[in-house]
């Protein structure tokens, strides 16, 4: 009997990673196929694949949007797809893997120019998300610790913590964690492109972007330039065999750090700093109409693919602005991300006869995930009826995001869902924020009930 192995990974390592693993395991069981799935989530590698298991496997399925250490699968047939396909079409992926020949690999298939363009877009997203996935733990930890610092002593002005107090210490700790955001983002984008030799120039580029005020935009650009510079140097610098060992530890690090450093100081840094300053000024001074439109766009992006590229782009944009002390987009993004699972849960309560027993049970799970700001809880409903359900989600999330921006709600922590609501001063205009989420949830539920096909009661 042919044995299969699989690896699943998503940028945040919270939901898609494990949903894809569960879907693949379930589909394999239905086909009576033995499979082992390695998950590379927020807590690290779980159920790791051993060299012996890799040697014995017929093929490997990689459903991932970040780096998964593919070098260990050299010589094995590999099916490479985005993590979302591991959730949506696990049976098809297993069939493709079983039909592959020992020497075949989907990466070796001929590609047309259009295919190459799509592949390059996928690589760009993969590199970016590799940086984001490594940055997020620092941002989430730092943001929440800063939010917790609001529980403690303040000066008479009510803004700064009293020097030497626990609140001041927490603020310092959180600030240190948040301060690494741009550096780690840049470093791991470069690492994704060039491997270990890309880490040093990427980190240096990130430090320069941070120190020069180029922010997360500068960090992203520095990471890509550093990675491709390091990759080019590795590929094109030829050394005598006796001196080949100097290339990765001396030649490439010195040249790549020097090149990205000079580019950041003399070419890239100041224009990106100006661009970020303009963006910050526009967001800070935007009128009500622009704020509502931005909130609606961010909200719709959060619900469009629920953890996919559009969702992660909106989230990354909002997280990046936290470093510039702009908190309203983050509030809009979290409100919009909570709305789809909460809305579908409410729909299952309002009209039980419109849903099967299995859907009603899934709705209960979705409610918990929604409260935790895990938009992926609504994926099973969206995947089952995308033409009707996803537009319903987008409308409800757009409403939640627009209302949050209109009310001027600000979120000082980049994650946490309903649990952040209980931290004093972590959310600006808390009452209006809860109202925005509630209205978005109701709109989502009503849209679902308006468009959804009737289902037999089971």
* Selected residue with higher pLDDT from 16 and 35: 35
**What integer is the mean pLDDT of 285-310?**
86
Residue whose C-alpha is closest to residue 413's, from 434, 432, 400, 427: 427
409 noted as active-site residue: no
Report the DSSP beta bridge partners of residue 35: 4
- Per-residue pLDDT at 121: 55
Residue whose C-alpha is closest to residue 306's, from 216, 399, 217, 369: 369
What global pTM score does this model have?
0.72
Phi, psi of 373, deg, nearest 5: 60, 45
Per-residue confidence band for 145, with pLDDT thresholds at 50, 70 and 90: confident
The active-site residue out of 6, 7, 10, 225 is: 10
- Per-residue pLDDT at 454: 64
Per-residue confidence band for 114, with pLDDT thresholds at 50, 70 and 90: very low
Least confident of 4-8, 105-109, 266-270, 318-322: 105-109
Token digits for 223?
A: 């990471």
Per-residue confidence band for 288, with pLDDT thresholds at 50, 70 and 90: confident
Question: What is the residue-averaged pLDDT of the chain?
Answer: 84
Report the DSSP beta bridge partners of residue 79: 61
- Per-residue pLDDT at 208: 94
- Per-residue pLDDT at 399: 96
* CATH C-level class of 3-108: alpha beta
- From edge to edge, which strands make up the β-sheet containing 34-41? 44-46, 34-41, 3-9, 59-64, 78-81
**What integer is the mean pLDDT of 343-350?**
93
Q: How many Å apart are CA 170 and CA 149, to the nearest integer?
A: 5
Report the DSSP beta bridge partners of residue 81: 63
Dihedral in degrees, nearest 10, Cα atoms 286, 291, 297, 299: 140
Length of the chain equals 458
* Exposure class string for 111-128: b at 16+ Cβ within 10 A, else e: eeeeeeeeeeeeeebbbb
Q: Where are the domains positioned within the chain?
A: 3-108, 122-272, 288-451
pLDDT at 333 over 90: yes
pLDDT tens sequence across 195-208: 888 999 999 999 99
Looking only at the bridges linking them, the beta strands covering 34-41 and 44-46 are antiparallel
- Per-residue pLDDT at 120: 54
Residue whose C-alpha is closest to residue 10's, from 90, 58, 64, 68: 64
* Selected residue with higher pLDDT from 284 and 71: 71
| Strand, coil or helix: 280 | helix
Q: What is the DSSP string of 6-64?
A: EEEE-SSSSSHHHHHHHHHHHHHHHTT-EEEEEEEETTEEESPPPHHHHHH-SEEEEEE
**What integer is the mean pLDDT of 353-372?**
85
Residue 205: C-alpha distances to residues 211, 253, 256 (Å): 10, 13, 10
Per-residue confidence band for 142, with pLDDT thresholds at 50, 70 and 90: confident
Per-residue confidence band for 264, with pLDDT thresholds at 50, 70 and 90: very high
| Strand, coil or helix: 59 | strand
pLDDT at 398 over 60: yes
pLDDT tens sequence across 149-201: 777 655 544 455 567 777 788 888 888 988 898 899 999 999 989 888 899 99
Q: In this structure, how many other beta carbons lie within 10 angstroms of the beta carbon of residue 424?
A: 11
- Is residue 371 within 8 A of residue 417, CB to CB? The reply is yes
- Per-residue pLDDT at 204: 96
| Strand, coil or helix: 415 | coil
């Amino acid at each position: 009997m042919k044995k299969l192995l699989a690896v699943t990974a998503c940028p945040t390592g919270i939901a898609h990673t494990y949903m894809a693993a569960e879907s693949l395991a379930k589909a394999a069981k239905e086909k009576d196929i033995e499979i082992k799935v390695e998950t590379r989530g927020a807590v690290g590698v779980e159920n790791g694949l051993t060299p012996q298991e890799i040697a014995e496997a017929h093929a490997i399925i990689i459903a991932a949007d970040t780096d998964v250490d593919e070098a260990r699968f050299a010589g094995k047939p590999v099916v490479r797809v985005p993590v979302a396909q591991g959730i949506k079409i696990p049976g098809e992926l297993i069939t493709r893997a079983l039909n592959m020949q020992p020497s075949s690999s989907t990466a070796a298939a001929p590609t047309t120019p259009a295919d190459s363009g799509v592949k390059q877009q996928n690589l760009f997203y993969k590199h970016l998300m590799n940086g984001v996935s490594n940055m997020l733990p620092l941002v989430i930890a730092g943001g929440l610790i800063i939010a917790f610092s609001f529980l403690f002593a303040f000066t008479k002005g009510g803004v700064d913590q009293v020097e030497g107090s626990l609140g001041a210490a927490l603020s310092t700790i959180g600030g240190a964690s948040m301060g690494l955001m741009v550096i780690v983002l840049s470093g791991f984008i470069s690492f994704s492109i060039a491997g270990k030799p890309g880490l040093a120039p990427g980190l240096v580029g990130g430090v320069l972007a941070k120190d020069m005020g180029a922010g997360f935009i500068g960090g992203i650009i520095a990471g890509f330039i550093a990675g491709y510079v390091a990759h080019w140097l590795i590929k094109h610098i030829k050394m005598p065999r006796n001196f080949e060992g100097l290339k990765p530890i001396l030649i490439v690090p010195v040249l790549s750090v020097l090149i990205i450093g000079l580019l950041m100081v003399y070419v890239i840094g100041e224009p990106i700093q100006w661009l970020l300053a303009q963006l910050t000024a526009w967001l800070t001074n935007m009128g009500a109409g622009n704020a509502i439109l931005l909130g609606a766009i961010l909200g719709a992006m959060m619900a469009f693919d629920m953890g996919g590229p559009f969702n992660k782009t909106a989230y990354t944009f909002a997280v990046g602005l936290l470093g510039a002390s702009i908190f309203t987009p983050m509030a809009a993004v979290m409100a919009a991300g909570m709305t789809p699972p909460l809305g579908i849960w409410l729909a299952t309560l309002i009209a039980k006869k419109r849903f099967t027993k299995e859907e009603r049970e899934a709705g209960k799970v979705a409610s918990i995930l929604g409260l935790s700001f895990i938009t992926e809880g609504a994926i099973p409903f969206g995947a089952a009826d995308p033409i009707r359900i996803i537009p319903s989600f987008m409308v409800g999330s757009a409403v939640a995001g627009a209302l949050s921006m209109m009310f001027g709600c600000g979120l000082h922590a980049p994650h946490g869902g309903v649990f952040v609501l209980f931290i004093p001063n972590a959310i600006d205009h808390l009452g209006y924020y809860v109202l925005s989420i509630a209205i978005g949830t109701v709109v989502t539920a009503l849209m679902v009930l308006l468009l959804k096909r009737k289902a037999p009661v089971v």
